[in-house]
Amino acid sequence: MKRLLKWTVIVLVCGFVLLQFSRTARTNPTVDESRAIEARLNVTPEVKAIFARSCDDCHSNRTRWPWYSYVAPVSWTVTDHVRHGRRHMNFSDWARLNDREAAYLLGDICKTTKQGIMPLDSYTLMHCDAILTPQDVGTLCLWSASEQQRLAAAQGTQSLK
Ligand code: HEC
């Protein structure tokens, strides 16, 4: 029985060590400021601070990779969240969106934070400071609504030309 336990532990430890050789992509592509959200929208300092605290790690190329993102198998989940997060919305590459897509995402920023879907629970578990207060959500929703209006107004003047 004792031998079995010993071998089980040895196999588990070796397996864990081998896992560490798996490849995970912790990339931070270079940021071209002219393509970032700040260059396209009026991002107020309050909104910028909320993004930096609660969203940038998954929705920008400025990810602060935590120590556990270097430890498999947790690293797989973390890199997967960042990859998916960036694909859905990347503040460092806002320029890739047309006005309609940008307006949609602005609405979604309000919706997902109001519903408590964003930031992800698995993230706030490790980053308590990223939890949004009702005021934060209010700030985001007011801001996104006003930016949506501004985009719509700009489109309106363009089509008049
Ligand atoms: C731990 C990583 C993580 C954090 C932090 C995070 N998100 Fe996300 N976010 C994701 C992932 C992953 C998806 C894609 C969800 C899916 O595939 O269903 C997503 C999707 C979204 C979407 C949907 C985009 C679309 O295509 O419609 C919005 C909007 C969003 N996040 C906003 C935010 C905001 C705002 C914050 C900060 C308050 C935030 N997220 C923080 C990982 C994150």
Task: Count other C-beta atoms under 10 Å from residue 134's C-beta.
Answer: 8
For ligand 1, whether the C-beta of 85 sits within 6 Å is yes
Residue 151 pLDDT exceeds 80: yes
20-76, pLDDT tens digit by residue?
Answer: 988 788 999 998 999 999 999 999 999 999 999 999 999 999 999 999 999 999 999
Ligand 1 centroid–CA 9 distance in Å is 38
For ligand 1, whether the C-beta of 36 sits within 6 Å is no
Residue 86 pLDDT exceeds 60: yes
If you take atom 32 of ligand 1, which residue's CA is the nearest one? 109
Q: What is the pLDDT of residue 159?
A: 62
Q: Name the amino acid, one letter, at 145.
A: A
97-123, pLDDT tens digit by residue?
Answer: 999 999 999 999 999 999 999 999 999
What's the chain's Rg over C-alpha atoms? 20
Measure CA 81 to chain center: 8
What are the boundaries of each domain within the chain? 2-160
pTM over 0.75: yes
**What separation in angstroms does the CA of 120 have from each of 59, 87, 156?**
12, 15, 36
Residue 158 pLDDT exceeds 80: no
CA torsion through residues 135, 127, 69, 122, sign: negative
Q: What is the pLDDT of residue 5?
A: 95
| DSSP type of residue 73 | T
Distance CA 48, CA 91 (A): 10
For ligand 1, whether the C-beta of 108 sits within 6 Å is yes
